[in-house]
Amino acid sequence: MVVVGAGFAGLRTLHTFRERGLDVAVIEANAGLGGVWYVNRYPGARCDVESYDYSLSFDPDLEQEWRWSERYATQPEILRYVEHVADRFDLRRDVHLDTRMTRSTYDEQAHRWHVETDDGDWSARYLVMATGQLSVTKQPQLQGQEDFRGRILHTGAWPHEHVDMTGRRVGVIGTGSSGTQLVPVLAEQASHLTVFQRTPNYSIPANNAPITDEQDAEVKATYPERRERARRSPSGLGFKPNKQSAREVAEDDRRALYEQQWTTAGFGFLLAYYDLMLDERANDTAADFIRAKIAEKVDDPTTAERLMPRGYPFGAKRPPVDSGYFETFNRDDVDLVDMRETPLERITEHGIRTTAGEVELDTIVFATGFDAMTGALLKPEIVGRDGLTLREHWNAGPRTYLGVGVAGFPNLFVIAGPGSPSLLSNVLLSIEAHVDWIAGLLDHAAEQGADEVEASGQAEADWVAHVNERAEATLYPRAASYYMGAEVPGKPQVFMPYVGGVRGYRRVLEKVVADDYDGFRFTGAREAVA
Ligand code: NA7
């Protein structure tokens, strides 16, 4: 088996399949392990899922021995955890760093993948794409960029050496999760910070805090229950959905619940009422609450107004979970430029020019995000049956069966791919669920004497229709988001993740198993066996 990517998904795949006796090689383009956590080294980078949940669940000893220091772990701490996991399970010996897959071709006679890299070729029965959902950075090509005399950085490709921002005038373009995490920390370092905002965001406070020994002991005493709660929750975060509608409760009660969620729940605020992502008027109540919070936090009313998201539902773009983002705009050395009022005209030699004039800068940081979900899958060329490339197959948007398999691409599996809950969930839990499920699928193939497993075209078409139908019943498609493919000009606009939730999705997977992996075709070396 060749696995592409040595982040959490690739390492978990390696461990699981090696334990089952397969020869597994992981190829990784970066010089180190960790995937997104290897490259997103910008100041302030941290996870927006709680540490105890954003961790691997397959080994109880690992759970017990690792000590998280904060409720939301920083990037360096997560990377240390990845390194620990790699050492603990002796994973490094099968990881080939600094190796990029350039092309993979399916051999229909041999039922094998021929994998080409920039450091030699591989042949494997199975090809697993564990390339992540947010790993290809979106690098804007702004007019005049090449004229800028200072330094341009991207949050998702942050330099490994220390970047000293002391005394620098810094401009940040982008106010998604990365920008929102970066801004308060950069403001402490830079002599002056200017934030260029295109779309305001409904950011929720993280309420981050150190983890005490008592808290750690408490979680560790009941870890299996916590994991089970997460698996049974729609988000994979363990939050129990509130069965009430936001519209059916008295205003005071609603405000009290929002207030409580606001100060405790982080991402779980989105689940305060079951219909926040289903009903526009229910959603408005949460959006109004957040706008009022922004007004409370930001002293200058004009700046507060500019920071308030409007015109798209709360949650339809992934909400950032911040630590002091809005409050940062109360500093004298931080400015907000609203690019809707004063659009960016060009990058100049000395900074950024908008219609309101030039802002002089020493450093520009692009916090402009990623070519989400499909970027890394379509970067190399993947050639399936009859010479069809994945790019051709997906020219109108990604098509998968269950987010795992692709018709016409036998023995190719995607971990947490488009069509799975992936980015709408605790992705670590979704990754582990996929790896274990694929293990069961390949066991079934072995029992059948099959060496070729392929999603059928009909199963794929039905799943794509189901994913779209479920998304259309929600408010998710009502924003220009990366869920929709709206983040990259020219990308097909299709809703990519499955909105049915972790729990609902698990039921689907269980049903497919109960129906003898319905939707997959199992073929032996010579003949179809099922
Ligand atoms: P996001 O969430 O995609 O945010 C990117 C931000 O950059 C967003 O505010 C964009 O505005 C802005 N952007 C993108 N391109 C441009 C250009 N050309 N000009 C101006 N502004 C631009 O990426 P993040 O890295 O913050 O977060 C990704 C995920 O990482 C996050 O959801 C978590 O899961 C962790 P827009 O909204 O498109 O108007």
* pLDDT score at 267: 87
pLDDT digits (tens, 9 = 90+) for 228-272: 999 998 888 888 889 999 999 999 999 999 999 999 988 889 999
Sign of CA dihedral 57, 400, 36, 215: negative
Does the predicted interface ipTM exceed a cut of 0.85?
yes
* pLDDT score at 388: 98
* pLDDT score at 234: 86
**H helices, E strands: number in the chain:** 15, 21
Residue pointed to by tokens 């959905």: 241
| CA–centroid distance, residue 298 to ligand 1 (Å) | 22
| CA–centroid distance, residue 157 to ligand 1 (Å) | 14
Atom nearest to 177 CA in ligand 1: 26
pLDDT above 50: residue 328: yes
| b/e map 18-50, b = 16+ CB within 10 Å | beeeeebbbbbbbebbbbbbbbbbbbbbbbbbb
Portion of the chain with pLDDT greater than 90, in percent:
94
Q: How far apart are CA 153 and CA 137, in angstroms?
A: 11
* pLDDT score at 265: 87
Portion of the chain with pLDDT greater than 70, in percent:
99
Residue type at position 393: H
- Please report, for residues 113, 399, 400, the alpha-carbon distance to residue 460 in angstroms, rounded to integers and kept in the order given: 21, 7, 5
Atom nearest to 482 CA in ligand 1: 3
Alpha helices in 213-309 (DSSP H): 213-221, 223-231, 251-264, 280-297, 301-307
Instruction: Give the pLDDT mean for 41-66.
Output: 97
Atom nearest to 317 CA in ligand 1: 2
| CA–centroid distance, residue 367 to ligand 1 (Å) | 6
Tally of CA atoms within 13 A in the half-sphere of 124 that contains its CB: 23
Contact 356, 343 (CB under 8 A): no
* pLDDT score at 530: 39
Confidence of residue 525 (pLDDT cuts 50, 70, 90): low
| Surface-to-core class of residue 288, CB atoms within 10 Å of its CB (0-12 exposed, 13-18 middle, 19+ buried) | middle
* pLDDT score at 524: 87
Query: Mean pLDDT over all residues of the chain?
Result: 96
pLDDT digits (tens, 9 = 90+) for 223-239: 999 999 999 988 888 88
pLDDT digits (tens, 9 = 90+) for 155-191: 999 999 999 999 999 999 999 999 999 999 999 999 9
Instruction: Give the pLDDT mean for 443-470.
Output: 97
